[in-house]
Amino acid sequence: MAEFRMPSMGADMEAATLVAWKVQPGDRVQRGDIIAEIETEKGDIDVEVFEEGVVEALLVEPGEKLPVGALMAQIRGTDGEAEGAAPAAPRGPDERRAAEPEPEPEPAAEPRRRTPDERPPVARPERRVRASPLARRVAADLGVDLDQVTGSGPEGAIQRADVEQAADAQRAAAEGAGAAPLAEAPPEAPTEAERGDYPARMRQAIAKAMAQSNREIPHYYLETHISMERALQWLAAENENRSIKERLLPVVLLIKAVARALEDVPALNGYWRQDRLAPQEAIHVGFAISLRQGGLVAPAIHDADRKRLDEIMAALDDLITRARSGRLRSSELTDPTITVTSLGDLGVETVHGVIYPPQVALVGFGTIHERPWAEGGLLGVRRAVTATLAADHRATDGRQGGKLLDAIDDYLQRPDEL
């Protein structure tokens, strides 16, 4: 019997709330299926299952807040089933009791308790209102029924402004009818901390993870300047043959160059666990995405080294859209083997990042801009980017870090091979 437990979405997560089950007892699941939806400081996350079998029991009710590692469900594996025979449908508690011998009557003073396998299945919610965590809290404060609110966010998601607008309409209608307002606004707006504001919780979670990183990881930092002239010229020519929707952004070249460089320097692609480096064969590049409501997440672009540039562009667009609407999958938050952050759109020249544990490296890129450039004894002007590396000194040293930055530079000088 396999156990499904509350997963960890990173070093900054201690607990999460079960929003809804996506399965019922008796459902067959395969590795990668979405089994539940949970709410964390990073938003609502679709949680995948990594076992194959039949859901035996759901042990947690929607709305319960659980610590990381808490038992949530039991999954019965398919090992031992007769080959070619259809597996027997799992029996509910009533059927199991009917198949068992009738127990001896128990004294009235000692009522019989249910055994764990007799726990009634948790009913799946018929409808899930799509709303941000902040919108839900504001709705609770103002007494607004989310079922009556029309969302203006992605895929009709309800946002804070939608709730406040609905509250104003309720209040106006009640006052116009001569009745008391349905929900009095508080005399003073509560602070973010008092209201449990989502951006505040997100910043607290980030601060906790970064404090842990600075406290436990001996960082070393390296910096270099990379000419982007060849890469940008190649990109301009490539985009001329593409429609506007299919055009590539420079950041796609940066992500792919990092992924290819990790093939050459694999020691920086992995995790620090149990006081040792655990290099990873798969290269899943986490890309830092800022959220509209504050904070950031760094979901994974899976197998970035094997993806074509247009596939990375599509994956990046998809991640940004779902990250900002709170629809990421659990594997996208737990799988990154390295993080890339780029603040070039803000005009920042240099980014010195903080490693996100248990990863052992982070690559940062600043803005691409013109600068004086000397090469071959000649001085000119070239478009260039500042690349930085933050790495864990327990896992690697400056020589290996330097090799990674050098490899990134080398691949960016050969953009047609990315």
Q: Could you report the per-residue pLDDT of 7-21, keeping only the tens digit for each?
A: 988 777 889 999 999
Distance CA 318, CA 313 (A): 9
How far is 134 from 192, CA to CA, in rounded Å? 10
Q: How far apart are CA 184 and CA 64, in angstroms?
A: 28
The residues with which 17 forms a beta bridge, in sequence order, are 39, 65
Q: Report whether 12 contacts 206 (CB < 8 A).
A: yes
Q: Which pLDDT belongs to residue 174? A: 57
209 in Cβ contact with 12 (< 8 Å) = yes
Query: Among residues 302, 300, 330, 298, which one has the least CA distance to residue 213?
Result: 298
> 3-class SS at 226?
strand
Rounded distance between C-alpha atoms, residue 216 and residue 206, angstroms: 15
Q: How far apart are CA 366 and CA 69, in angstroms?
A: 38
| Domains by residue range for the chain, with CATH | 2-118 (2.40.50.100), 133-189 (no CATH), 219-417 (3.30.559.10)
Which pairs from 304-310 meet CB under 8 Å and 24+ separation?
Answer: 304/255, 304/256, 304/258, 304/259, 305/256, 305/259, 305/260, 305/262, 305/263, 307/256, 309/248, 309/252, 309/253, 309/256, 309/418, 310/246, 310/248
In this prediction the pTM is 0.71
- Residue-wise pLDDT for 24-81, tens only, equals 999 999 999 999 999 887 778 999 998 899 999 999 999 899 999 999 999 998 654 4
Q: Mean pLDDT of residues grouped by 10 in the chain (418 residues)? A: 88 86 94 91 86 92 91 81 38 40 45 47 53 72 81 67 77 52 40 52 78 92 98 97 93 98 97 95 96 86 97 96 89 95 89 94 96 93 97 97 98 96
Question: Are residues 133 and 44 in contact, defined by beta-carbon separation less than 8 angstroms?
Answer: yes
Contact between residue 235 and residue 366 where contact means Cβ atoms under 8 Å apart: no
Mean pLDDT of the chain: 82
CB atoms within 10 A of CB 362: 27
Phi, psi for 229 (deg, rounded to 5): -60, -50
CB-based contacts of 263, cutoff 8 Å, min separation 6? 283, 305
